[in-house]
Structure 1
């Protein structure tokens, strides 16, 4: 189902889908919130966040990042982005893993295809 919130004026906003929610160490993290923060990073062109299997804790947060052309070729590392996110997100919300990819998988209507992101992880 869909997850929504209501503001103080009574307006509702769709926040995401329950099946996309990442369950990290007992916390529930919405990918959209992490993506919005990561999009503030100057090197990131696009980002998709998904929960991926972790043998120790069940699931962890992974960001699939498309870099802007001027930051490709090793100008920024996965660790750089994780450290940047650590300073701006709650301790349970920042991504523990980053993978640089060329393009994000999208649905026919242009939304991030999170199932494909999770499938990309399982192929590794």
Structure 2
């Protein structure tokens, strides 16, 4: 039996383990939960309480402290997984969108197919060339 052969996994295991859905985000999005008026507590409870969250740290961020200081997040801290960024990467979706709006190159930050899609659909204020 080949370990990668899905057909050999007993059906009962597949039926009893539904896939998990979690919000994957950077520390900046996690910290946006504390911005007054941006997120409703009910929405945060639904996202984090029902599904969970995986947060990737960024230099200068302290997600554990932010979670501790938030009543809503600390209530569901067992559903929040923090992934430490061991190799510093200063690329963020916010910075990529800003560069696109300014007409700056994102050639080595995104696959060509994504850049083409953004241009084709004129996303983030980027006109089709």
Q: TM-score, normalised by structure 2?
A: 0.26
Bigger strand fraction: 1
Structure with the higher helix share, 1 or 2:
2
Greater radius of gyration (CA) = 2
User: Structure with the greater relative contact order (CA < 8 A, sep ≥ 6): 1 or 2?
Assistant: 1
